[in-house]
Structures are given as C-alpha cells and as structure tokens.
Amino acid sequence: MSDNKMTATALNSLWIAILIIVFDQLTKFWAVSTLTFAEPVAVMPYLNWTLAYNDGAAFSFLAEMGGWQRWVFGGLALVVSTVLILWLRKLPKLLTVEVWGINLVLGGAVGNVIDRFLEGRVTDFIDFYIESWHYATFNVADMAITAGAILLLLSEFFLKPKKEKILKQADE
C-alpha cells in the first residue's frame, strides 16, 4: 500500500460541508432579497417563509445581551469547527455515517458563523407551525447541524457498538 493511501483521511469529504455552506448562504441571500421582515409567506400548511434575525444562540438564547454574544458564539463555532476538522483528519477516507454527521455539523456551524461575523446576527426564514404554535424560525445551517448531530448519535450509540459486536463475534 502506498503512503498516500495510508495517510488518506476523511478530510477529502469536506465537499459536503462546503455544499452546506454554499446552499445555506444562497438561501439566506434569497430570503433577505425576497422576504419582508416578520411577514409570513405561506408555502404549504404548517410551513411559512418568514424573515427573522437571531442575535443570540438557539431559540434566541441571550439575544438581548448587548452584542458580546456575537463574538462568543462566533468564537465557539470556530473552535467547534476546528475540532471537527481535526476529528475528520483522524478518520479513514470513507463516507461513513460519522463522516457525514461531522460534515453536516461543520457546514452548518460555518454557515451561521459567517452571518455572525458579517452581520452580527444569524438570518432565519423557515417557520414551521401547528395552529397557533410556531417552532423557532430556523435556516439551512440549523437543519444541517441538527441532522449531523442525529447522525453522530446514531453512529456512536448504535452503529459502532453493532460493528464492534460483529467484529468480536468474528474473532471468536
């Protein structure tokens, strides 16, 4: 086996994160260019496009804290992104559930950190609701982070133990 194959890592999968970042930024550009702030546009039952801005974290946590949270949440996202890239470097060059999960979280985190550093807030526009109850308005980056976290949990708590059990049985 050549040295290149031995040192190949899952960093080659960063195209997934890049696609998420591009799609997230394009949809946010569309929302800002097309929608009017806080005026819902019905898409289908239970779903509106509603332009909103989030100065805080998830569910507008700490949104009214004077602006320091922009830098704290932005910095935290950069630290998390660095950790995710280092994690990818340690994984083999395979498109596993774990690699997909890492890239989805990474792409979502970078998509939102771009907003934080450029605008001081995150642009949201997807408004899911049931009758008068509305979920927190979100964006493509938020969906990627959520899907990625679910994939990472699935990998860690279900797929890895199952693989380890199969390998252990094969050794016996």
Does residue 80 lie within any of the structural domains? yes
pLDDT at 119 over 80: yes
* Amino acid type, 134: H
- Edge to edge, the sheet with strand 122-130 lists 41-44, 47-54, 122-130, 133-134
- For 70, other C-beta atoms within 10 Å of its C-beta total 19
Query: How confident is the model at residue 21, as a pLDDT?
Result: 98
- Residues 57-70 have a mean pLDDT of 54
* Cα separation, 112 vs 107, whole angstroms: 9
Q: pLDDT by residue (tens digit) across 35-52?
A: 999 999 999 999 999 999
Instruction: State how far the Cα of 127 lies from the Cα of 159, in Å rounded to an integer.
Output: 33
User: Which pTM value belongs to this model?
Assistant: 0.84
Per the structure, the complete domain to which residue 113 belongs is given by 12-171
List, for residues 129-167, the tens digit of each pLDDT value.
999 999 999 999 999 999 999 999 999 999 877 777 666
Residue 5 placed within a domain: no
User: Which residues are known catalytic residues?
Assistant: 124, 142
Instruction: Assess if residue 2 is contained within a domain.
Output: no
Position 57 scores a pLDDT of 57
For residue 69, what are the contacts with CB-CB under 8 A and spacing of at least 6?
55, 56, 57, 62, 63
3-state secondary structure at position 5? helix
Please count the CA atoms within 13 angstroms of the CA of 107 that sit on its side-chain side: 27
pLDDT at residue 61 above 50? no
Q: How far apart are CA 25 and CA 84, in angstroms?
A: 20
- With respect to residue 6, please indicate whether it lies within any of the assigned structural domains: no
Any domain includes 159: yes
Rounded Cα distance, 56 and 76, in Å: 13
Q: Total structural domains in the chain?
A: 1
